[in-house]
Structure 1
Amino acid sequence: MGGWAIAVHGGAGIDPSLPLQRQEEACQALLSALHLGISALRSASSAVDVVELVVRELELNPLFNSGCGSALTAQGTVEMDASIMDGSTRKCGAVSGLSTVKNPISLARLVMDKSPHAYLAFDGAEAFARQHGAEIVDTSFFIIEENVIRLKQAKEAKSIQFDYRLPSKGWDTCASEAEQMVQMNGVPISLYSPETVGCVVVDALGRCAAATSTGGLINKMCGRIGDSPLIGAGTYACNICAVSATGEGEAIIRATLARDVAALMEFKGISLKEAVDCAIHERLEDGKGGLIAVSNDGHVICGFNTTGMFRALATEDGHMEVGLWD
């Protein structure tokens, strides 16, 4: 196939009742971010620069659960996570527990480029951000009224919310249907979208990179860290491929989902599509989620076992897709 390729996602687990306007808004936002990445690739930007650029754009859009619009913890606070990996060098950077850094993905990039470490969290990550001139804003920047309401509803239903968009049918039915809801370690989870954002790229030189950013779960325990900042779980890139995952973080962590795609290609010699299908439908077991992936030969694949996943992709030969459902 050859040439560059790019994919972005805005979360897996779409409720079929999500209002059409919301669906269209999310697709347009992903398409805008995709075009931003395409333009950078056509200007010969590196894969790692492009994934940072695209995820920064999505972090500033309150439609998504990353940066502005992040989910709220049980205490009503924001704790954002992000990670980035350059497949050509296998260098990576990750951050967790951020509450004032405007673009978590760019702080993850700073950790990768400017620190001796791969992962910084909470106060240490915030201090590093100030030390290196990352843009700092008041924590209120990330909190939108919709999520304040959503947290209140989650507390009333004694539920962790897998995502953060308000359902169109009202919350009153959710508590009574808790037994039918997806469970996370025995706790009901509501499924609405969009949510976590991510981007994967292979550039014209065959270099792969991945980036993922999230606000986590509504009503999560303070200090909870999901898959998004964990290299090998929510994000992974090497000289063969790049992967960004989204969905039920605890299940993705158990499956080391992103790394599994690369390992299947590396050790079994199978195609990107075969590796993605195996990871999603066999390795994820009873968990729900999805992923986007590119290979160094310009292939791009999206896979999920949920009702849908917000995603958009493009290749150098002119192919482009934007989708929600299977």
Structure 2
Amino acid sequence: MVGWAIAVHGGAGVDPGLPVERQEEARRVLERCLRVGAAGLRAGLPAVDVVEMVVRELETDPVFNSGRGSALTRKGTVEMEASIMDGHGRRCGAVSGLTTVKNPVSLARLVMDRSPHSYLAFDGAEEFAREQGVEVVDNSYFITEENMSMLKRAKEANSIMYDYRVPAPGVDSASAGLEGAKVENGLLMNGLRISVYAPETVGCVVVDSNGWCAAATSTGGLMNKMSGRIGDSPLIGSGTYACGDCAVSCTGEGEAIIRSTLARDVAALVEYKGLSLQEAVDYAIKERLDEGMAGLIAVSRNGEVAYGFNTIGMFRGCATEDGFMEVSIW
């Protein structure tokens, strides 16, 4: 028997000027979700049940970019996506293009458990949701006033997301390929000053007392994204992966995470190279992202927890069976 462990994230790429009250709000949400997950693990729930339960909590709270509070497409609608993977048997389910499903991660679970497929999207996923009787709501449920304001600013700046880079010495906006971007507080902006929190993807990884691992990830995607865009979160092996050795959930620039198959690479380094979990995470973040910005959380079958990110911060937290708990941003 191993000790259980759980880790959660609320996204990488945190504005260093994020108001303290927003930091504390995010910390409270993550801590609440950790306590929900820990209670489930103490009650003997399997890892896959716990990751679904925790991500449902994150989807229901508008603080992060999943479920209610999802980032908006350029049309002002939401197209949500999620995935879940049970490392015990490497079973998985994923969904994309959801517009009415209240908890995308639970539909992903149903795809895994009750369909012959691993991935359903757009109209087919919505039809399956109704066949399964999952809770659906009007698209307006997911759209917050804050996200409408962000979308307006993103459109004005012709930007697909709120993001930033730490420029190398002597690099200005034009030479970095970001014409019209602003350099403020030492950060190269892609056309928008981040004066408010831009929500990010959520995820959870768990190893239960049997040593079984599971992962789940959920997101609304990028603010002002093209309709039909699919990121890394629902892609097994990129944004989410779980096997007998570990479970991984990623966050950040989806296109970079897709190119690097980031989650699977971490697992492969553990499985084939014999690296420790933290060594595998560190290598993947440093060597596999090229110019991309991302972060990830991971747990191993031995009860280890590891984080990694190349952004200034990542909303994250973990709890273990021995009573340890932490929530961090920077």
TM-score between both structures, scaled by the size of structure 2? 0.91
* Equivalence map 1:1-326=2 (5 Å): 2-162=2-162, 176-178=180-182, 181=188, 192-325=197-330
Give 3-state SS (helix, strand or coil) of 1:94's partner.
Answer: strand
CA contact (8 A) 1:8 1:30 kept: yes
Following TM superposition, by how much is the alpha carbon of 1:194 offset from its aligned partner in structure 2, in angstroms? 3.7
CA contact (8 A) 2:83 2:236 kept: yes
CA contact (8 A) 1:160 1:189 kept: no
Following TM superposition, by how much is the alpha carbon of 1:319 offset from its aligned partner in structure 2, in angstroms? 1.5
Q: Quickly say closer, same or farther: Cα 1:92–1:162, change in 2 above 3 A.
A: farther
Give 3-state SS (helix, strand or coil) of 1:225's partner.
Answer: coil
Following TM superposition, by how much is the alpha carbon of 1:193 offset from its aligned partner in structure 2, in angstroms? 4.2
CA contact (8 A) 1:162 1:248 kept: no
Following TM superposition, by how much is the alpha carbon of 1:89 offset from its aligned partner in structure 2, in angstroms? 1.1
Aligned residues: 311
Report the counterpart of residue 175 of structure 2 in structure 1.
Answer: none
CA contact (8 A) 1:161 1:190 kept: no
CA contact (8 A) 2:240 2:249 kept: yes
| Cα distance in 1 for residues equivalent to 2:258 and 2:162 | 15
Report the counterpart of residue 167 of structure 1 in structure 2.
Answer: none
Amino acid of the structure 1 residue aligned with 2:312: T
Amino acid of the structure 2 residue aligned with 1:123: D
CA contact (8 A) 1:181 1:190 kept: no
Q: Quickly say closer, same or farther: Cα 1:154–1:193, change in 2 above 3 A.
A: closer
Give 3-state SS (helix, strand or coil) of 1:228's partner.
Answer: coil
Amino acid of the structure 1 residue aligned with 2:249: S
Following TM superposition, by how much is the alpha carbon of 1:88 offset from its aligned partner in structure 2, in angstroms? 0.4
Q: Quickly say closer, same or farther: Cα 1:152–1:140, change in 2 above 3 A.
A: same
| Cα distance in 2 for residues equivalent to 1:279 and 1:194 | 24
TM-score between both structures, scaled by the size of structure 1? 0.92
Give me the CA root mean square deviation: 1.7
| Cα distance in 2 for residues equivalent to 1:323 and 1:2 | 25
Following TM superposition, by how much is the alpha carbon of 1:161 offset from its aligned partner in structure 2, in angstroms? 1.1
Give 3-state SS (helix, strand or coil) of 1:51's partner.
Answer: helix
Following TM superposition, by how much is the alpha carbon of 1:40 offset from its aligned partner in structure 2, in angstroms? 0.2
Query: Percent of pairs identical after alignment?
Result: 69
CA contact (8 A) 1:159 1:190 kept: no
| Cα distance in 2 for residues equivalent to 1:138 and 1:175 | 39
Give 3-state SS (helix, strand or coil) of 1:31's partner.
Answer: helix
Report the counterpart of residue 167 of structure 2 in structure 1.
Answer: none
CA contact (8 A) 2:181 2:192 kept: no
| Cα distance in 2 for residues equivalent to 1:199 and 1:98 | 20
Give 3-state SS (helix, strand or coil) of 1:302's partner.
Answer: strand
Report the counterpart of residue 174 of structure 2 in structure 1.
Answer: none
Q: Quickly say closer, same or farther: Cα 1:162–1:259, change in 2 above 3 A.
A: farther
| Cα distance in 1 for residues equivalent to 2:66 and 2:113 | 22
CA contact (8 A) 1:11 1:197 kept: yes
Q: Quickly say closer, same or farther: Cα 1:100–1:41, change in 2 above 3 A.
A: same
Give 3-state SS (helix, strand or coil) of 1:135's partner.
Answer: coil
- CA shift digits 1:59-91 (9 cap, x unpaired): 000111100000110111110000000000100
